[in-house]
Amino acid sequence: MKKPTLMLGAGALAVLVVAVALSLRPGSDPVAAQQPTPMPPPAPASAGPAVARLGNQQIDLAELKSVLASLPAESREQLRANRGALETWLRSRLAQKAVLEQADAQGWRQRPEVEQQTRAAAEQIVFRDYMLSVSQVPADYPSAAELQQAYDSGKAQWVTPPLYRVSQIFLAVNDPQNLDAVRRQAQDLSRRAQAAPGDFAALATQFSQDPDTAARGGDSGLQPLQQLVPEVRGAVSRLKVGAVSDAVQSAAGFHVLKLTAQQPARTATLDELRERLTQALRAQRQEQIAKAYLEGMLNTATLSIDGAELNKVLE
């Protein structure tokens, strides 16, 4: 049977564009405005060697592996690389288990309102899991033609902004009384780097107080201007490739910046978007299948709504 051609309405295309475009944004950097990272959900306990303990409670290796396995690959690697965040999750999970132990000792699970919420949550879990089973998308969807059509339909939205590769020497101001001294040091480093731009990486490695970028000679990678803190953003926008800025003050301290490369805005190719666009199309198709399944359930029998009884609830 010939597959129907994928037709994207204006609303569906807008959702699809946002889903894929958001995934095109480069990652965060030390000179970028930082966003909080949500913690992973707790996993059910299981037997095994304890990774962490709190009184009677423990988190074993199997539970931790289950949590990591439930995360998207990128988030999982970020958590693996961030020991502090992982230990924060361990502490939070142990505290949660301790609270649950106290609640169980007081029979909290048997309270009528808790039992009602538990039943409602269980119903939602069963509903979602069953709907996933009846809305499976064919393995060969989308076809090459459908993928090309979706790409062409949203092509104007696949534009990545100009990207700037910035190196920095960062000096923190931990005490307001040291502000002038830190400013003078930043200005001196700026003059030295402007006189010999080729020495910037060595100066950053020696003097920068941002350990992440200092280890790379100050390099913070390619990123759009919008991702930088405002003061840095303004300075970078005025630099030419290879140039070094004067000392720039932000809320955290002083930055000496070097623009090492710049990429103009461009349209991402289909090959670059293929995996993410395919995932977005499959998610959209699964939603369509699930919606059709629910509508089919409503059509299998006569539906009636008692307006009088409904009014009693609304009054």
pLDDT band at 47 (very low <50, low <70, confident <90, very high): low
- Going by C-alpha positions, the residue among 305, 11, 295 that lies closest to residue 154 is 11
CB within 8 A of 143, min separation 6: which ones? 3
- Is pLDDT at 17 greater than 80 in this prediction? no
Q: Are 232 and 251 in contact (CB under 8 A)?
A: no
- pLDDT per residue as tens digits for the range 218-239: 999 999 999 999 999 999 999 9
Domain 159-267 class?
alpha beta
Which of 19-33, 71-85, 107-121, 207-221 is least confident?
19-33
Q: Are 185 and 253 in contact (CB under 8 A)?
A: no
Report, as an integer, the average pLDDT of 62-87.
88
* Tokens standing for residue 121: 């949550």
Report, as an integer, the average pLDDT of 274-278.
95
For residue 17, what are the β-bridge partners? Answer: none
State the Cα–Cα distance between residues 88 and 91, nearest whole angstrom. Answer: 5
State the Cα–Cα distance between residues 254 and 242, nearest whole angstrom. Answer: 20
- Between the CA of residue 192 and those of 126, 202, 255, what are the distances in Å? 65, 11, 14
For residue 53, what are the β-bridge partners? Answer: 58
- Is pLDDT at 155 greater than 90 in this prediction? no
- Is pLDDT at 2 greater than 80 in this prediction? no
Cα dihedral across residues 259, 261, 263, 268: positive or negative = negative
**Higher per-residue confidence, 157 vs 20:** 157
pLDDT band at 31 (very low <50, low <70, confident <90, very high): low
Over the chain, what is the mean pLDDT? Answer: 86
pLDDT band at 315 (very low <50, low <70, confident <90, very high): confident
DSSP three-state, residue 160? strand
Q: Are 170 and 245 in contact (CB under 8 A)?
A: no
**pLDDT confidence of residue 148:** 96
Report, as an integer, the average pLDDT of 64-75.
88
